[in-house]
Amino acid sequence: MGIFDQLHPEWQKRLADFKPLVARIDSLIDKSDITPAYENIFAAYELPPNEVKVAIFGQDPYPTPGYAHGLAFSVSAHTQPLPASLRNMFRELENDCGVKPAANGDLHRWAEQGVLLLNQILTTRPTQSLAHENYGWQEFTEATAKIVGESGAIGIFWGLKAQQFAKYFDPKLSISSAHPSPLSAYRGFFGSAPFSKTNELLRQSGKKEIVW
């Protein structure tokens, strides 16, 4: 079974034109030298397209072995210490909404409420960032962003890379700032209040807020 079959059936329908691309990427992947694990590559796509209320875009998976598990910015529940970007996200969440940092960095709790956590590049080699930058993932995830944006979802774009996808989202439903990484968090991520802004937009559209 190829990795395309890991997609939720609704995503398989919506992204059917990209099955050959995914098959080509699949042929390039070394299953024994990849992160996240092969079976978790499409973890973000367990959330069907019609249930996506909010989309947060990352760049590529954490290269630290054992950290990435298929959701952008998220790590498995036992991972310590948390990656710096995720720590900064939790810090902003506390300042923004008064939410104390969670006991772990597993963001499946967000995904289960309709938050798509999608990296633009879905795989890399352990210990090496952007190792699969030229495999073609960006074409696939850009098509995903277009589907989600046209559905009326809220888009959260942290950093210039993510902001390339903002063109597919209603400007009134787009929240952009610097990236939460230590290199840029003080240049506009801290104080940007993305979590409260998202919930305000959800309230305005009559949708249930995210319990961050």
The answer to whether residue 1 scores a pLDDT higher than 80 is no
User: Taking residues 23-39, what's their average pLDDT?
Assistant: 96
Per-residue pLDDT reduced to its tens digit, 55-99: 999 999 999 999 999 999 999 999 999 999 999 999 999 999 999
User: Taking residues 188-208, what's their average pLDDT?
Assistant: 98
In the chain, the domains with their CATH numbers are 3-204 (3.40.470.10)
The count of other CB atoms within 10 Å of the CB of residue 101 is: 14
Looking at residue 135, what DSSP letter applies? S
State residue 17 phi and psi, 5-degree precision: -65, -15
Confidence of residue 144 (pLDDT cuts 50, 70, 90): very high
Could you give the percent of the chain with pLDDT greater than 90?
98
Looking at residue 37, what DSSP letter applies? -
| Crossing angle for the helix pair 19-28 and 137-150, to the nearest 10 degrees | 140
Q: What is the pLDDT of residue 2?
A: 85
Q: What is the pLDDT of residue 157?
A: 98
H runs (alpha helix) in 2-136? 9-14, 19-28, 84-97, 108-111
Q: How far is Cα 33 from Cα 44, in angstroms, rounded to an integer? A: 20
Name the active-site residue from 5, 26, 30, 60. Answer: 60
Per-residue pLDDT reduced to its tens digit, 9-28: 999 999 999 999 999 999 99
| Residue 60 bears catalytic tag | yes
**Mean pLDDT (the chain, rounded):** 97
State how far the alpha carbon of 9 is from the alpha carbons of 12, 50, 52, 121, 157, in Å.
Answer: 5, 12, 15, 21, 27
- Angle (CA) 64-68-70 rounded to 5° is 160
Q: How far is Cα 98 from Cα 115, in angstroms, rounded to an integer? A: 20
Whole-prediction pTM? 0.97
Nearest CA to 152 among 140, 175, 176, 168?
Answer: 168
Q: What is the pLDDT of residue 91?
A: 98
Confidence of residue 51 (pLDDT cuts 50, 70, 90): very high
